Amino acid sequence: MLRYLHRNVPLLVGLALLGILVAFMGIGALTVDVGSAQPLSAPALQSPSWDYPFGTDRQGRDLLAVMVAGTPLTLRIGFIAGFIGVGIGSVLAFTAAYYRGPIDTLIRSIADIGLTIPQLLILIIIAVSLKGSLTVNQMAIIIAALAWLSPTRTIRAQVLSLRERGYVEIARLNGMSGPEIILRELMPNLLPYLAATLVSSVSAAILASVGLEVLGLGPVEAPTLGMTLYWVNFNAAIINGWWWWWTAPLVVIVVVFLGLFFLSVGLDEVANPRLRRSA
Amino acid sequence: MSASVLRVERLRVAYDHPLGAVCAVDDVSFSLRPRERFGLVGESGSGKSTMALAILRLIKPPGHIEAGAVWFEDTALFSLTDEAMRGLRLASIAMVPQGSMNALNPVLRIREQIRDALADHRERLSRREFAARVCELLTQVGLPGEVADKYPHELSGGMKQRACIAIAIALRPKVIIADEPTSALDVVVQQQVMETLGHVQAELGAALILIGHDMGLMAQFVDRLGIMYAGRLVEAAPIGEIISAPRHPYTRMLIDSLPSLERKTGLRGIPGLAPLMRDLRSGCAFHPRCRVAEAGCRTRKPAMRDIADDISVACHRA
Amino acid sequence: MHAVYIVKRFGVFLLIVWIAATLNFFLPRLSGEDPVRTKLLEEASLGGYVHAGIDNMVREYQQRFGLDKPLWRQYLTYLGQISHGDLNYSIANYPRTVVGMITEALPWTIGLLGVTTLFSFAAGTILGALLAWPRAPYWMRWLMPPLWALHAIPFFLLGLVLSWLLAFKLQWLPIFGGYSAGATPALSWGFVFDVLRHAVLPALSIVLVSVGGWALAMRGMMITTMGEDYITFAEAKGLHSATIFTRYCIRNAILPQTTGLALALGQILSGAVLVEAIFGYPGIGALLFQAIEENDFFLIQGIVFTVIVALGFATFVLDVIYPWLDPRISYSQS
């Protein structure tokens, strides 16, 4: 395992970055008072100091506490939406690719057309239409509503190529039923690929949630990473020189995206060893 | 031997692998006379295709040519510059790709694929000359002139293979290497493509190396046959000799496995499996499957030796 | 040429327009009530400085989409209205129409996005092709890790860093807007230069992030293509390596890359919305941001509809170009 990681550098980098993130959240949760992530719990606009290592914002939130409380919230949105998306996506993809025919045409067309429509805009319409402020979980569900499109498309293509392999044909000739072939023959071969798809879906969901939040459509009460950036933009922190305000959420978000990205590249390499040598 | 157009001398091609290098072509020598049809047969993985690529110097990493030489007439191919070697491909030694391959660029018309070949070999033709040349080439391989304006996906398997032959003979090469040109084609088309190939070869006066695994096809088509086993050439002799009096035990088994009209005893296969190149043991590579192997076969590698006029074999027992 | 294919693709485009309109109509009504009505009424009851015309709007809206009418009637009315290019008035800027405001913002976005997308696509594709080519200079390999890393970051985050560095710290570039506050839009060199200066930061944030993505995708496609049989045969034909590289490798690898462009347009646009919002660039994204802040529902709906239609059209154009790149398509489709 370790020797393999040595060869699959992206996987190693991805796991390391996410490991740092988990460590930060874990240690933070034990040592930092998450209550100071609320406004007015600290003096406003302090640059980083011994007391407030990440500084404080204009409303008097301790940014270290905001990061400790907000990172898991943002990740939660990503994972809920990502899991739902890949779950629905795989069911649709397997159905479409295995049975072909009109079902396939329908599912493929929906996914293809759905993907040409920018998801963020649809999410904006939904978020604006819902009355009042959202909670973190509602946010996740809304994003999940569109998160299945991309997995459906990619998993379907993968199943289609697997379907042509000899062993699937043999299983069919041996009288295995459709669902049985999907579960026993296709699934095990697709697992690394599904994992890679899941990681990119989580990443896409986080991107969508941060986007909505920056536009001011997020959970106003929750100190998520995107909401923090919304306040940064709202208060024009850059022009005012309050660099610490945006540095902390920026670094955490970058670590999240880089970690997930390298993880998915690494998993892709596990799924497609053919590309491994040429990489 | 100066009469040969192509001479392969003690060629050795190896592939690097984390578990140790693998010799895909091991110490192979043979020569090709002008206008001769030389066949090379062997099981898949016996190094036939690697040899074709090695002659054209197209082995890619992790593979590399480890030793040996290839002479085209009086030119040592391995000491040419890359550019000189490139100029020699197609112009002097052309390849007809495997029939199962999609060897034609899917987004270019046949005409353009011929044009590329001519242009990169400094054939400057006027538009009319070029059109006439394309038409002539296609006629030579039995294709109608309209094929020039078709894309590969608009052609049948047999037509594609003929188009490949047309490209291969575009510069009237002296040597044509056909690597399983009829694999994946159905039997009727197979026959037609082979006829075309034989016909253009005779017309050009080129020598031909035909690579394959179909003994029946070889018996009909070639003048001389080389048998490869596990990267080594184990027997080379005129086709009549091979059929009537095979010297190497492996050749004998190959001949015995052919279906015959007189014999109604059912088909006989060769027991055992082709060896994995990685774990070749010492001695003759064939000894584990050989019916006449003796103690010495297990330890000493048999070298190729001439045992009669134009017949050589690598076997201690022959 | 292949009329059937083009008609089919155009049909898909019309379908997208219809879907956009339908989503626009039904999504807001999913919650059981009509949020437009609610918001209009709210706005009207505020009275005060709010424009007098709002009463007219409410009356007109009631008349057209009154609760007394069945939903399908309202839906048909809405479709009829949209098919005439009527996207209603802006609630927050009453006498102005949504169409008018969008028309004003659209050129900015098309300019910014068109240039940056085409540039990053071209540059990334060339770079990716070179990265896969064994004869490319070795130093190019060092470009890969930073491009990878940038590719994983959303546009607007890079925008934040760039605006702090280049606009706030170094003061090289303006931080906000599409042109200087005092400048009057005119076709003079001075104004054009001013506009370009303002476009650098948003453009840079989009380009730096996208180039890596295209390079990565193209490199993957090149590696796959270089393993194809026709490359081996091309080598056996003794072609120049430059011919093989361009006419055999790139020419084929570009096909999935183009499909990728069609698929990525939506994502690029979503990212650009945020970039414009951050930089106050006077395009569609900033307008949308403003509309969200002001709760201007008609404007939000109008922008979403327009953008989906515009993207659908861009996809249609790419679809029409595609068979010209790949001869296999037009035949297999018709």
List chain A domain ranges: 20-275
Residue C66 lies in a domain: no
Min Cα distance C263 → chain B (Å) is 22
Backbone φ and ψ for B305, nearest 5 degrees, come out as -140, 150
Closest Cα in chain C to B154: C328
Reply yes or no on whether the pLDDT at C33 is more than 70. Answer: no
Kindly determine whether residue C230 and residue B153, on different chains, have CB atoms separated by under 8 Å: no
Q: What is the CATH number of the domain that holds B141?
A: 3.40.50.300
Ranges B14-18, B39-43, B219-223: which has the least confidence: B14-18
C-alpha–C-alpha distance, residues B250 and B230, integer Å: 11
Backbone angles phi, psi at C34, to 5 degrees: -95, 105
CB C291 within 8 A of CB A216: no
**Gap from C221 CA to chain A (nearest CA, Å):** 11
CA distance C168 to C152: 25
Q: Tell me the C-alpha distance between B104 and A87, whole Å.
A: 41
Residue C321 lies in a domain: no
C-chain residue closest to A207, CA distance: C154
Q: Identify the domain containing residue B293 by its residue range.
A: 231-261+281-318
Specify the pLDDT at position B95. 93
List chain C residues with CB under 8 Å of A275.
Answer: 220, 223
Amino acid B174: pLDDT: 92
The pLDDT tens digits for C72-117 are: 888 888 888 888 888 777 777 777 888 889 998 899 999 999 999 9
Interacting residues of A70 by C-beta distance below 8 A, sequence separation 6+: A37, A222, A223, A224, A225, A227, A228, A249
Query: Closest partner residue to A207 among C154, C164, C301, by Cβ?
Result: C154
Judgement on whether residues B52 and B188 belong to the same structural domain of the protein:
yes
- Which ipTM did the prediction report? 0.87
Give the pLDDT score at A278: 38
- The pLDDT of residue C15 is 92
CA B60/CA C134 separation, integer angstroms: 11
CA-nearest residue to B149 within chain C is C327
Residue C236 C-alpha, separation from nearest chain B C-alpha, in angstroms: 6
Write down the pLDDT at residue B168.
92
Is position C324 within any domain?
Answer: no
Residue, of C182 and A98, whose pLDDT is higher: A98
Which positions in chain C touch B116 (Cβ < 8 Å)? 234, 237, 239, 243, 247
Q: Calculate how close chain B gets to C231, using CA atoms only, in Å.
A: 8
**Residue C292 and residue A215: Cβ atoms within 8 Å?**
yes
Tell me what the mean pLDDT of segment C22-35 comes to: 75
Give the chain B residue whose CA is nearest to the CA of C227: B60
Q: Is B63 in the same domain as B103?
A: yes
CB pairs under 8 A between A and C: 133
| B272 within some domain | no
Give the residue from C233, C247, C330, C332 with the most B CB atoms within 10 Å of its CB, the best one to mutate. C233
Pairwise CB contact (< 8 Å): C233 & B120: no
Weakest-pLDDT range from A39-43, B305-309, C1-5, C125-129: C1-5
Query: Measured between CB atoms, does C324 come within 8 Å of chain B?
Result: no
* Residue B176 distance to chain C (closest CA, Å): 11
| C295 to chain A: closest CA residue | A128
- The answer to the question of residue B69 being in a domain is yes
Whether residue C15 and residue A117 make contact (CB cut-off 8 A), yes or no, is no
Q: What is the pLDDT of residue B278?
A: 57
pLDDT tens string A38-47:
887 778 778 8
DSSP state of B77: G
Tokens 């996740």 sit on residue:
A140
Whether residues B120 and B208 fall in one domain:
yes
| Nearest chain B CA: its distance from C214 CA (Å) | 22
Tell me what the pLDDT averaged over chain B comes to: 86
- Which chain C residue shows the shortest CA-CA distance from A247? C161
Any idea what DSSP says for residue B97? P
pLDDT tens digit sequence for B88-101: 999 999 999 887 66
Residue of B58, B91, B153 with shortest CB distance to C235? B58
Q: Are A238 and C161 an interchain contact pair (Cβ–Cβ within 8 Å)? A: no
Instruction: Please tell me whether residues B184 and B301 are part of one structural domain.
Output: no
- C-chain residues near B117 (CB < 8 A): 237-239
Residue C47 confidence class, pLDDT cut points 50, 70, 90 = low
Structure tokens given for B29:
């020598």
A117 contacts C19? CB cut-off 8 A:
yes
- pLDDT number for residue A33: 81
Residue C314 lies in a domain: no
Nearest to C265 by CA among C210, C203, C311, C328: C311
| CB B140, CB B202: distance < 8 Å | no
Task: In whole angstroms, give the CA distance from residue C272 to residue C289.
Answer: 12
B17-43 pLDDT, tens per residue? Answer: 777 778 888 889 999 999 999 999 988
Count of CB pairs separated by less than 8 Å, B with C = 84
- Under a CB-based contact definition with an 8 Å cutoff, are residues A262 and A11 in contact? yes
* Selection from A140, A151, A138 nearest residue A88 by Cα: A151
CA of C220, closest CA in chain B: separation in Å?
A: 18
- Residue in A with minimal Cα distance to C154: A207
B235 and B225 in a single domain? The answer is no
**Quick check: B208 pLDDT over 80?**
yes
Q: Answer yes or no: is B219 within a domain.
A: yes
Which chains, if any, share at least 3 CB pairs under 8 A with chain C? Answer: A, B
Region for residue A59 given its phi and psi (left: phi exceeds 0; alpha: psi -120 to 50; beta: otherwise): alpha
Which residues of chain A are within 8 Å of residue C164 when distances are taken between CB atoms? 238, 243, 246
Share of chain C above pLDDT 70, in %: 87
User: Is there a contact between C160 and A120 if contact means CB atoms under 8 Å apart?
Assistant: no
Q: Which fold has domain A20-275?
A: MetI-like fold (1.10.3720)
Q: Is B302 helix (H, G, I), strand (E, B) or coil?
A: coil
Domain count along chain C: 1
List the one residue out of C248, C255, C259, C246 whose CA is nearest residue C130: C246
Q: Which amino acid is at A18?
A: L
3-state class of B72 per DSSP? strand
Residue labelled with tokens 């019916």: B291
- Give how far Cα A128 sits from Cα of C27, C254, C298, Å: 10, 39, 11
Q: CA gyration radius for chain A?
A: 22
Mean pLDDT value across residues C19-37: 77
In-domain check, residue B271:
no
CB A57 within 8 A of CB A231: yes
pLDDT exceeds cutoff 80 at C298: yes
Residue range B138-172, pLDDT digits in tens: 999 989 989 999 999 989 888 999 999 999 999 99
Candidate from C23, C278, C312 with C-beta closest to A233: C278
What total number of domains does chain B contain? 2
Which one of B120, B122, B160, B176 makes the best mutation probe of the C interface by having the most chain C beta carbons within 10 Å? B120
Q: What is the CA radius of gyration of chain C?
A: 24
Closest CB from B94, B117, B153 relative to C239: B117
Taking CB atoms within 8 Å and a gap of at least 24, the contacts of A227-230 are A227/A70, A228/A57, A228/A63, A228/A66, A228/A70, A229/A253, A229/C160
Count CB-CB contacts under 10 A for residue B87: 16
List, for residues C200-220, the tens digit of each pLDDT value.
899 999 999 999 889 989 998
B248 and B197, same domain (yes or no): no
Interchain proximity A118–C27, CB inside 8 Å? no
Q: pLDDT at position C68, please?
A: 66
C18 — pLDDT class (breaks 50, 70, 90): very high
Strand order in the sheet with B232-238: B93-96, B175-179, B207-212, B37-41, B224-229, B232-238, B311-313, B305-308
Confidence of residue C280 (pLDDT cuts 50, 70, 90): confident
Q: Give the Cα separation of A39 and A81 in Å (integer).
A: 28
B103 inside domain: yes
pLDDT, residue A112, reads 86
CB-CB contact of C250 with B96 (8 Å): no
Cross-chain Cβ contact C270/A130 below 8 Å: no
Minimum mean pLDDT range among B247-251, B263-267, C16-20: B263-267
CA distance B107 to chain C (A): 6
- CA-based nearest residue to B12, from B30, B26, B1, B2: B26
pLDDT of C334 > 50? The answer is: no
CB-CB contact of A229 with A207 (8 Å): no
What residues make up the domain containing C251? 107-283
C243 contact residues in B (CB cutoff 8 A): 116, 119-120
CA distance A41 to chain C (A): 27
* Residue B97 C-alpha, separation from nearest chain C C-alpha, in angstroms: 7
DSSP string, A163-232: HTSHHHHHHHHTT--HHHHIIIIIHHHHHHHHHHHHHHHHHHHHHHHHHHHHTT-S-TTS--HHHHHHHH
* B238 and B111 in a common domain: no
Q: Are B237 and B220 members of one domain?
A: no
Q: Which of B59, B105, B151, B174 to mutate to test the interface with C (most CBs of C within 10 A)?
A: B105
Measuring CA to CA, which residue among A191, A210, A202, A208 is closest to residue A261? A202
Beta bridge partners of B225: B39, B237
Q: Count other C-beta atoms under 10 Å from residue C112's C-beta.
A: 24
What pLDDT is attached to residue C45? 61
C193 min Cα distance to partner chain A (Å): 23
Per-residue pLDDT of chain A (279 residues), as tens digits, is 666 777 788 889 999 999 999 999 999 888 888 777 788 777 877 888 888 888 888 887 888 888 999 999 999 999 999 999 999 999 999 888 878 889 999 999 899 888 888 888 888 888 888 766 778 888 899 999 889 999 999 899 888 877 777 777 787 777 777 777 777 777 888 888 899 899 999 999 999 999 999 888 888 888 888 899 998 888 888 888 888 888 989 999 999 999 999 998 888 888 776 544 433
Residues B109 and B198 reside in one and the same domain: yes
Interface of C with B in 229-248 (CB under 8 A): 229-230, 232-240, 243, 247-248
User: Would the CB atoms of C233 and B95 count as touching at under 8 Å?
Assistant: yes
Out of B210, B230, B250, pick the residue that ends a domain. B230
Which domain CATH number covers C220? Answer: 1.10.3720.10
As a whole number, the mean pLDDT across chain C is: 83
CB contact under 8 A, C238 and B107: no
The residue length of chain A stands at 279
Contact A11, A5 (CB under 8 A): yes
Among A113, A124, A262, the residue with its CB nearest the CB of C304 is: A124
Q: Identify whether the C-beta of residue C98 lies closer than 8 Å to the C-beta of residue C87.
A: yes
- Asked if residue B200 and residue B54 are part of one domain, the reply reads yes
CA distance C266 to A111: 13
Mutate to test the interface with A, among C151, C165, C201, C270 (most CBs of A within 10 A): C270
